[in-house]
């Protein structure tokens, strides 16, 4: 078949391979320790920058979440302010309308009071005139009654002989006429 290789040779080759691997592992471990002591400062800087980047990204996400919640609160507050402004303007319109109505009512009330006082004055004048007319009428009727009964005599000549007794008699007759009516 191919070449006959002795078994010893295979064993020596395998042993040499294992010995080389073992020696390279030992030297590699010793070398890595010395290399670890001689680390490049740029590697440390890169690692610290990466760590700072991760922290900054985490902080950025927190700030973004907080900013979104603040924006939502701001929108809610703006909506509430707009609603309150609408309510305030509506109330102001109502108040202006009520004030206007009140002023108009006061003016109408003053006009009505003036008209009422004018009417009361006219009524009082009418009552006074009515009383005067009633008085004149009662005087006229009393005179008419006295003339009709003959108690009053409007003759131009007055009997001079008649004394005080006649005057008293005439007054008594006038009183009787009044009491009978």
DSSP single-letter state for residue 150? T
Three-state DSSP class for residue 162: coil
For residue 70, pLDDT beyond 90:
yes
Phi-psi region for residue 162, left (φ > 0), alpha (ψ -120 to 50) or beta? beta
**Average pLDDT of the chain, as a whole number:** 84
Tokens 């007794």, located at residue: 165
Token pair for residue 150? 């003959």
pLDDT at residue 35 tops 90:
no
Residue 3 three-state SS: coil
The predicted model gives 117-130 an average pLDDT of 95
pLDDT band at 7 (very low <50, low <70, confident <90, very high): confident
Query: In the predicted model, what is the mean pLDDT of residues 146-151?
Result: 77
Q: How confident is the model at residue 29 (pLDDT cuts 50, 70, 90)?
A: confident
pLDDT at 49: 95
- pLDDT average, residue stretch 2-31: 86
Dist CA 149 CA 144 (whole Å): 9
pLDDT at 1: 43
At residue 81, does pLDDT exceed 90?
Answer: yes
Q: pLDDT higher for 152 or 119?
A: 119
């Amino acid at each position: 078949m191919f070449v006959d290789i002795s078994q010893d040779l295979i064993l020596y080759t395998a042993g040499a391979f294992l010995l080389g691997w073992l020696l390279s592992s030992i030297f590699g471990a010793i070398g890595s320790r010395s290399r670890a002591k001689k680390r490049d400062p740029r590697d440390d800087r890169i690692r610290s920058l990466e760590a700072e980047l991760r922290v900054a990204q985490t902080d950025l996400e927190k700030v973004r979440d907080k900013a979104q919640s603040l924006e939502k609160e701001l929108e809610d507050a703006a909506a509430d302010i707009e609603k309150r402004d609408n309510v305030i303007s509506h109330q102001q319109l109502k108040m202006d309308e009520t004030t206007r109505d009140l002023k108009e009512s006061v003016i109408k009330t003053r006009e009505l009071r003036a008209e009422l006082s004018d009417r009361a004055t006219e009524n009082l004048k009418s009552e006074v005139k009515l009383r005067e007319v009633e008085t004149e009428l009662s005087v006229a009727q009393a005179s008419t009654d006295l003339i009709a009964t003959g108690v009053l005599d409007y003759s131009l000549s007055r009997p001079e002989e008649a004394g005080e007794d006649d005057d008293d008699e005439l007054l008594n007759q006038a009183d009787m006429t009044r009491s009978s009516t």
